[in-house]
Amino acid sequence: MFQKILIANRGEIALRIQRACRELGISTVAVHSTADAEAMHVRLADESVCIGPPPAKDSYLNIPAILSAAAITGADAIHPGYGFLSENASFADMVDAHGLTFIGPSAEHIGMMGDKIAAKTAMAAVGVPLVPGSDGELLDLESARETAARIGYPVLIKAAAGGGGRGMKVARDTSEIEDAYRLARTESRTAFGNDAVYMEKYLDKPRHIELQIMADNHGNVVHFGERDCSLQRRHQKVLEEAGSPAISAVQRDALGETATAALRKLGYRNAGTLEFLYQDGQFAFIEMNTRLQVEHPVTEMLCDVDLVREQIRVASGQLLGYEQRDVTFNGHAIECRITAEDPVTFVPTPGRVTAYHAPGGLGVRIDSALYAGYFVPPYYDSLIAKLIVHAATREAAINRLRRALDEFAVVGIKTTIPLHQRIVNDPEFQAGDYTIHWLEKFVAGG
């Protein structure tokens, strides 16, 4: 087992990883920008190292500074969390080259799944169903037109190196294909330095279903069930559930068997999440995230497992130590992502938190690095807290969530707590009757 882990991240996920390390008896090193000198993950770490000024490119994305921090503190492993360098294959390679352990998948698999075209090709080769689309990159406008004619409109043009909804454009008929193709390429080039795009059939009423897996270095792979991440705004997840109100246990088992068999063939290791669109009883793979997900707590609550602890264990060479039949799914869990944003306009609201009160009680969990007096900086993602609830049934979980949201107080800045209060009181959400397009209409008043 590792003696000291450097956490190459900030905020609630850095604190989350620290807690798992402490329970395993592992010392921690926090890295931070000058803007985060008073952050909770810095205060609670065993050691901390300032790695640069506020801009992420000069600190949390500064690979030489992070590796230097690991060297001077004597860390023997690095956990990247999510975001920042977590899916950077070059970083994973450099960590290994410096004699450290990267707590995550291999650089090979990070690179493979980071290229959406390569990911789809790899998954198709091991029997995972795909959304109908182009065979690879759309090299020119004519190939885009031909592919759209073959699979039928509407179509979605997507960045091969994309994520977070950037580089994605819909063409509903032939009159829109040229603009969609050119805009997707331009946006992809600007956001990712890579203008490669591909095409998928645009589904009109899908749900976004993802499957959490864990694999050790010895060929053992298990899944921890599905999460329903369909409540999204501008392709950004807002609320997640485990399990999905639209998926049966039989469907879960079948999807899990397909996914674990595929990753076993690929020789995958550590944590990963396969993402699917689900419509009319059919699953279609869209991408894989080779890291811990923001929404991992709902799976932890559902299956009573510490996924960060499992990441650390398998990265140190240990066996999973259990089989699929040992994984249980109990009750229902829901997570709300609370952000420092105006709940109506969604404009970011950095500033000083003058008072803070977290909800509590049975089945309530808060993952947050907030405290009274903390200044939410304007330089990073606006996520400030995750409220997770667990109960025996979905109805009970919704009631618990409603109660917890009413208790949650963050004073001094605007947050999206009121948006989540609106969502949980909506009859369609309560019925589980929503798709990936539902929340956009909801916030627009439609």
Catalytic residue numbers, as ranges: 291
317 prior amide bond cis, ω within 30: no
Residue 314: φ, ψ to 5°? -70, -30
Neighbouring CB atoms inside 10 A of 358's CB total 17
Measured distance CA(109)–CA(102) in Å, rounded: 13
Helix (H, G, I), strand (E, B) or coil at 150: helix
Rounded CA separation 384/12 (Å):
7
- The string over 171-194, giving b where at least 16 C-beta atoms fall within 10 Å of a residue's C-beta and e elsewhere, is beeeebbeebbbbbbebbbebbee
Closest CA to 29 of 13, 11, 9, 54: 9
Indicate the helix (H) or strand (E) that contains 412.
none
Does residue 290 contact residue 87 with C-beta atoms inside 8 Å?
Answer: yes
CA 153 to chain centre: 29
Report how far Cα 205 is from the mean position of its chain's Cα atoms.
22
Question: In one letter, which amino acid is 44?
Answer: L
Alpha carbon distances (Å) from 82 to 26, 59, 201: 20, 15, 29
Q: How far apart are CA 276 and CA 255, in angstroms?
A: 10
d(CA 125, CA 441): 37
